Structure 1
Amino acid sequence: MSYKAWFQCASGCNERYELNEIIYNCKTCGGLLEVKHDIEKLKHRSPGSWMRLLDERYRRTKWPFGSSVWGKKEMVCPNVDNENVVSLYEGGSNLFWAERLGNIIGTEDLWIKQCGNAHTGSFKDLGMTVLVSMVKQMISEGKDIMGVACASTGDTSAALSAYCAAAGIPAIVFLPKNKVSTAQLIQPIANGALTLSLDTDFDGCMEIVQKICRENNIYLANSMNSLRIEGQKTVSIELVQQLDWEVPDVIIIPGGNLGNVTALGKGFLLMKELGMINKLPRIVCVQAAKANPLYQSYLSGFKEFKPVQAQMTLASAIQIGNPVSINKAIKMLKLFNGVVEQATEDELANAAALADKTGLFNCPHTGVALAALFKLLEKNEIKKDERIVIISTAHGLKFTDFKVKYHENKLEEVESKYANVPLELPPEYDKVNRAIIDKISEYS
């Protein structure tokens, strides 16, 4: 069976373009594009047959299908030849049963999808493997592409630089100066990317990178490029696969540029259209209170949207005031009975720390999602007996400064409820023994 995908205008005029065309907006109306698949061809295989095939490929060694993205190649990007796939064995991240945290907050069925357990430490790998593979495919077909560029708050630049380094394609990353962690900054540097630190915010970087790409034969890798969304939508398919093909009741995801919300919804809609599932979950999108344009729109029933000037937040990866995927995200949230919530600095930091005490090691953005869960449970908008999945977007090791300052009680606007500092003691048995006994007794 020969499968096919293409770009199509997402704004309603339905103009179509080939995936190997360097294009990001509809030529007719200027709207964003989305990747469409030949659903009728995909339906030639039965739902049960698809599920068996995906299970057979999952985490195996046959190239490129052991990747949890490329194991779903027919429904992600069939246009790339196998020899042009650039894969770092992405996907297959742990679906963590958060039993102890659930017991603390009173939920019966809580799971954390740990997308940060990835090659570059975030869910951005899932989309970047598709985009860079498509660039390699275009280069093999004779397209003149000087390099691939992105604006980033940290994680996108890490993923782009790693995949381009693996493919031997130049990468250019635009980062807002002093607004990404050291761990995030060093990743593109180590992978040899041309790293530009601009004295602006993400929205300022985004404006410049789009102009650079328009005026040069440089390919744009931000999430307005819907090839990224195709890889990221596999999160939905994978987590249902990990739950033995059962759909959770609620999924909570942090949102910045909002491509991840669109991707999450696309995966579920595809599975439902192919008959692999028979219901859709509710999607909750959460923003930092200091960068909350979607939340503000939600309060008006999505009747209007106004960009905001994003303020400095601990959740730096979602410090975005003018998300490019806003219209797609709103459309998706309406389809999924969506809820939008926000979290303050104090709420997100303490939520992350509480979860860490039960065996996790959360990035601040996962803290945003967890804080929303706590609030929505309290308001009874999420029921305690529902199956809940939190999408953890990055690894906590990228944010060690956030962790250290939390436990030293040095974060502005945060009262560290779960601070845990080392005990400094002389090397004397009696004093060490007494300290241990006193400390352990606090757990009983």
Structure 2
Amino acid sequence: MRAAHQLRCTGCGQVTPPEEIAGDFRCAACGELFAVEYPGWAGAAPPNPGALRWLWKERRSSLAAADQSGVWRFRELLPIVQEHEIVTLREGNTPLYHLTQNAERLALPELYAKHQGMNPTASFKDTGMTAALSVAKARGFRWVACASTGNTSAAMAAYAARAGMRSLVLVPDGKIAWSKLAQSMDYGALTLQLKTDFDGCVAVLREVVRRAPVYLLNSVNPYRVEGQKTPAMEIVEALDWQAPEHVIVPGGNLANISALGKGFAEMHALGLLPVLPKLSVIQAEGANPLVRTMHEFSGEKLEPVEAQTRATAIRIGNPASWKKAVAVLRATGGTVEQVSEAEIALAKARLGAEGIGCEPASAVTLAGLEKMLIAGKVQRGERVVLLLTGHTLKDADYTIAYHRGELLRADEVAGPEQAALAQAIRDSRRDAVACEANVDAVLRLLHARDGGTA
């Protein structure tokens, strides 16, 4: 028998059995999203935190597929399917890097990056997709579907292919990186480019799943959150079961902060974590609905925006999980910040200079951290973890355009107040250099790059 769990509406609190949920995963009474909860935890004896930590560590040496997954290794905290129903590509177990160069530059000794771009399809979406698609397969669905700016579609298509299922992808025409689109095509998805934006794709998909036996795998699906909460366990495990003071995440559809907030809160409630970290969200200036709702409406309502940013993974103007995100910000004492296109591009280059490549949407975390330090929202002695959501090869064209000086418009780095930013961008560029095919020419360039001291 499947592990007992239930779905509770985050708006009105109504509890609905999982098998009665269909369509777009919204409450029939109030239209809000659901959250997975485990009522058995309340009446059971508290788990032994030490025993769980030992078990999860021991599983890393196991050859079983579920144990090799950084999601299902923690399956005691997401009992949503039985082990034989799990669909996995060995996701999770991603590295936590110490950002030595940026830590020194910012005088922030304990600065880390949790790189979710090291997942099988190169983004954090895999951790949620293994959970939600496993539920879809267990419930007997043949088709799964999503609307996407790229990463969700790649993950869904891969896991559906792995499970022997069929997948439908709706993407906004011309508004996602080709490398991401290529993934969903390669994994066999029926990929449709709609002449609209991401929010328009979502509207179409909601009607599709209402009228056809298709299982929705966008972030409104509460089982996605269950998988996406597991990086919280990996972070504190890597820090010897101590919480960082601050975790900073990019803000797109806002399921990420919702999931991590749930993971940290559950570990705290079960005695696995002594204190909660602050969770904060960074958005692009041109796609900043959460920043606006927190600053202008104190988190009480959201006004959608027409999203415009080159960081395509967070080009979302009407995020579905905004209420969950607001709840996490309030519960943890986190904050919101926005950054410009130029700040995003420079932050991405600065991460790359440490040998850590990420897609543009990931780099908003480093750019936002710098603003938070200036504003006093992060203190120099704190331990800070930046969440990097996607690999640099997710949008290689962006990187090439940046280093060739073709990415940013002149007005984006103009004016005396931007002089330092513009100079930092020029200093960080590393375009490929044309060179004659002889040793002397190579040595001259090597000598010049080394400041004339080679």
When normalised by structure 1's length, the TM-score is 0.95
Distance 2:248 2:44 in 1: 29
Q: Which residue of 2 aligns with 1:329?
A: 325
What per-residue deviation string (whole Å, max 9, x for no partner) do you get for residues 398-436 of structure 1? 111000000000013355431111222223333322221
Match of 2:346 among 318, 325, 350: 350
Contact 2:145 2:215 in 1 (8 A): yes
Distance 1:442 1:358 in 2: 23
Q: Which residue of 2 aligns with 1:48?
A: 50
Q: Which residue of 1 aligns with 2:390?
A: 394
Q: Which residue of 1 aligns with 2:225?
A: 229
Contact 1:146 1:170 in 2 (8 A): yes
Contact 1:281 1:336 in 2 (8 A): yes
Q: Which residue of 1 aligns with 2:430?
A: 420
> Is 2:196 the partner of 1:200?
yes
Distance 2:400 2:43 in 1: 52
Match of 2:144 among 138, 144, 148: 148
**Greater fraction helix:** 2
What per-residue deviation string (whole Å, max 9, x for no partner) do you get for residues 186-206 of structure 1? 001001100000111100001
**Aligned ranges 1:186-197 → 2 under 5 Å:** 186-197=182-193
Distance 1:438 1:298 in 2: 49
Distance 1:264 1:329 in 2: 10
Residues 259 and 227 (structure 1), Cα distance of their counterparts in 2 relative to 1, 3 Å cut: same
- What secondary structure sits across from 1:51 in the alignment? helix
Q: Which runs of 5 or more residues in structure 1 are unaligned?
A: 140-144
Match of 1:307 among 298, 304, 307: 304
Contact 2:279 2:332 in 1 (8 A): yes
Contact 2:2 2:80 in 1 (8 A): no
**Aligned ranges 1:125-144 → 2 under 5 Å:** 125-139=126-140
Contact 1:20 1:138 in 2 (8 A): no
Residues 14 and 409 (structure 1), Cα distance of their counterparts in 2 relative to 1, 3 Å cut: same
Contact 2:435 2:441 in 1 (8 A): yes
Offset of residue 346 of structure 1: 0.3
> Is 2:71 the partner of 1:61?
no
Q: Larger deviation: 110-119 or 16-25?
A: 16-25
Contact 2:149 2:172 in 1 (8 A): yes
Residues 164 and 262 (structure 1), Cα distance of their counterparts in 2 relative to 1, 3 Å cut: same
Distance 1:176 1:29 in 2: 29
> Is 2:168 the partner of 1:166?
no
Distance 1:237 1:310 in 2: 32
How many residues align? The count is: 437
2:446 maps to amino acid = I
Distance 1:443 1:231 in 2: 51
1:271 maps to amino acid = M
Q: CA RMSD in A?
A: 1.8
Distance 1:183 1:43 in 2: 48
Contact 2:8 2:36 in 1 (8 A): yes
- What secondary structure sits across from 2:283 in the alignment? strand
Contact 2:2 2:81 in 1 (8 A): no
Residues 436 and 70 (structure 1), Cα distance of their counterparts in 2 relative to 1, 3 Å cut: same
Q: Which residue of 1 aligns with 2:416?
A: none
Match of 1:440 among 422, 430, 450: 450
Contact 2:2 2:82 in 1 (8 A): no
Q: Which residue of 2 aligns with 1:6?
A: 6
2:265 maps to amino acid = L
Offset of residue 2 of structure 1: 8.4
Offset of residue 4 of structure 1: 2.0
Q: Which residue of 2 aligns with 1:295?
A: 291
Contact 2:65 2:90 in 1 (8 A): no
What per-residue deviation string (whole Å, max 9, x for no partner) do you get for residues 150-199 of structure 1? 00000000000000000011100001111111110100100110000011
Identity of aligned residues (%): 36
Distance 1:7 1:358 in 2: 43
Distance 1:65 1:378 in 2: 42
Q: Which residue of 1 aligns with 2:28?
A: 27
Distance 1:204 1:2 in 2: 36
- What secondary structure sits across from 2:74 in the alignment? helix
Q: Larger deviation: 183-192 or 34-43?
A: 34-43
Distance 1:314 1:19 in 2: 40
- What secondary structure sits across from 1:116 in the alignment? helix
Distance 2:291 2:277 in 1: 20
Residues 166 and 131 (structure 1), Cα distance of their counterparts in 2 relative to 1, 3 Å cut: same
Distance 2:19 2:342 in 1: 44
- What secondary structure sits across from 1:310 in the alignment? coil
Contact 2:447 2:453 in 1 (8 A): no
Contact 1:43 1:274 in 2 (8 A): no
> Is 2:132 the partner of 1:122?
no
What per-residue deviation string (whole Å, max 9, x for no partner) do you get for residues 50-105 of structure 1? 111111113632241221111111211x2412222100011000001111221122
Distance 2:285 2:61 in 1: 38
Distance 1:157 1:97 in 2: 30
Offset of residue 14 of structure 1: 2.8
1:103 maps to amino acid = E
Residues 377 and 218 (structure 1), Cα distance of their counterparts in 2 relative to 1, 3 Å cut: same
Q: Which runs of 5 or more residues in structure 2 are unaligned?
A: 413-421
> Is 2:256 the partner of 1:265?
no
Contact 1:93 1:114 in 2 (8 A): yes
Distance 1:221 1:7 in 2: 16
